[in-house]
Chains A and B, each alone.
Chain A
Amino acid sequence: MRGVFDIIGPIMIGPSSSHTAGAARIGLMARKILGEEPLQATIELHGSFAQTYKGHGTDKAIIAGIMGFATDDERIKDALSIAVSSGLKYQINTTDLGAVHPNTAVIYLIGKAGRMTRIVGASVGGGNILITNIDGYDVELTGQYHTLISIHHDRPGVITKVTSILSKYKINIAFMRVSRKSRGAEALMIIEVDEQISDDVLEETKQVRGVANSFRIPPI
């Protein structure tokens, strides 16, 4: 059974939990994945997002999320003008991605220090989201958990070493997924956990031989 605050809640900016609140969360997730202040954003809207984004303020909500606004932030309504005044360059396009969820957006971000990322996310109902692709890797990320993401060299032992660090710090793994582009190439690991990921944990995972980089995303 759902909880009390799934029925009365969340507090959100209207008009639509999927097309506004969920869209803002996709934008927020993209910002967290970039990991630095975004300077440029290109957004491609697919399906129902593409058809109805003006009426639902989906464009405003995604830009608001990219700027770090929460789903109940009243500035969402003015997000496009705030983006212009705060120096975030953005572009909104519509696209046809084929047989994906009807509320899907692709977000390209370039950050202040030059980091770039491309994420694909869907708003799957009631404000819930699913990030389905990060930088070409297929993933399934809901934003409901503390998440550790690591990019590593695809070879035996790396996963064990990373998970044993979590075990050492008594961090319980809720969900985990590993994907790679090809055998022996760069791979991506996403671990959703129940506890907060401390600086120490993050640093230790970065020290694991074969791990190129790792970063954490708090629940959004």
Chain B
Amino acid sequence: MIKFKNIQELIALANEKKVAIYDIVEQYEAEVSQVPVDKIINTMKQNWKVMREAVESGIQNQDKSASGLVGGDAKKMNDYLGDNGKSYAGNMPLKVAAYALAVSEVNAVMGRIVACPTAGSCGILPAAVLAGAQHKNCDEDKIIHALFTASGIGMVIAQNASIAGAEGGCQAECGSAAGMAAAALVELAGGTPEQVGQAVALALKNLLGLVCDPVAGLVEVPCVKRNGFAAVHAMLAADMALAGIQSVIPVDEVIDAMYKIGLALPKSLRETSEEGLANTPTARAIEKNLYGKAK
């Protein structure tokens, strides 16, 4: 029976059996769910198909959300990056940001997405994996492997901290998604299990304390654009880990810190839209306009 209760144990299991993290995660899922590995892989392929379609449709999206607050920014970003030499950040970061905006916009306009780990953070992982796989010419098998590695990381974070904004703030949603995306990118690049762990630590550390303060209670502002930022963030974390940079604080201690920070965050900044950006004059005006009265 395969068991792991933190990332260190996941890495140790992979090293001990001389396999990758995704192998351990696939075997774990097969044992727990009593479903053969090939079926589990097929389910992941279906998820990947939906993720890819969301990027492709989102990048062209011109629809606005029901509130009118978001829609059309992925296309703007994509058009801008095609305009060679204009940008500061360069092609790759802008591409991953455009992809993440795309999926998040599809979510906001009631399109089909894969929650990963949540709907509010659904753009980060597909964006990183698609942009990363295009860059490294990875086939679908490699992509599926990367998704299982990401999932294993998310499972540990959900167990030892949280993946719900209402419990842990946005660090639990976009933070976790960035950690998962960083792990996937290291896997796509053929990094070691240790480098996967380092990338997760680096990505999570730098999103700690992020609050969940959505304007008018909707998964739109700041969520959609934050997906774009967090995807770039994940890519930088993966590159740092692949360059051999190490987090001074080990990954499981970072996750533990994230959990405690979540507990310390006031309820007003955990998806209740009472404080933060949700309580700015502009946000309250938007809310009044949408619902006819202030909350």
Query: Which positions in A face B, CB cutoff 8 Å?
Result: 1-17, 20-21, 48, 51-52, 54-57, 60, 72, 74, 76-77, 125-127
Given A54-B66, A55-B290, check contact A7 B158 (CB 8 Å): yes
Contacting pair A125 B164 (CB below 8 A):
yes
Q: Which of A8, A15, A21 contacts B125 (CB 8 A)?
A: A8
Secondary structure at the B interface, as helix, strand, loop or mixed, is helix
Q: Which of A9, A15, A51 contacts B110 (CB 8 A)?
A: A15
Contacting pair B116 A16 (CB below 8 A):
no
Q: Which of A6, A8, A125 contacts B166 (CB 8 A)?
A: A125
Residues of A within 8 Å of B164, CB to CB, are 125-126
Given A3-B155, A51-B217, check contact A8 B119 (CB 8 Å): no
Contacting pair A11 B50 (CB below 8 A):
yes
CB proximity of B285 to chain A, nearest CB, Å: 15
Contacting pair A5 B110 (CB below 8 A):
no
Residues of B within 8 Å of A60, CB to CB, are 110
Contacting pair A11 B114 (CB below 8 A):
yes
Residues of A within 8 Å of B295, CB to CB, are 51
Quick check: is B193 within 8 A (CB to CB) of the other chain? Answer: no
Contacting pair A77 B115 (CB below 8 A):
no
CB proximity of B33 to chain A, nearest CB, Å: 6
CB proximity of B255 to chain A, nearest CB, Å: 13
Residue of B33, B47, B106 ringed by the most chain A CB atoms within 10 A:
B47
Q: Which of B25, B33, B216 contacts A52 (CB 8 A)?
A: B216
Residues of B within 8 Å of A8, CB to CB, are 44, 47, 114-117, 125, 147, 150-151, 154
Contacting pair B218 A3 (CB below 8 A):
no
Contacting pair A3 B29 (CB below 8 A):
yes
Quick check: is B229 within 8 A (CB to CB) of the other chain? Answer: no
Q: Which of A14, A56, A74 contacts B122 (CB 8 A)?
A: A14
Q: Which of B111, B115, B159, B166 contacts A9 (CB 8 A)?
A: B115
Residues of B within 8 Å of A77, CB to CB, are 109-111
CB proximity of A97 to chain B, nearest CB, Å: 18
Given A17-B118, A51-B291, check contact A12 B112 (CB 8 Å): yes
Residues of B within 8 Å of A74, CB to CB, are 111-112
Q: Which of B119, B154, B166, B180 contacts A14 (CB 8 A)?
A: B119
Bound CA–CA A64/B108 (angstroms): 17
CB proximity of A186 to chain B, nearest CB, Å: 38
Contacting pair A4 B29 (CB below 8 A):
yes
Contacting pair A15 B108 (CB below 8 A):
yes
Quick check: is B268 within 8 A (CB to CB) of the other chain? Answer: no
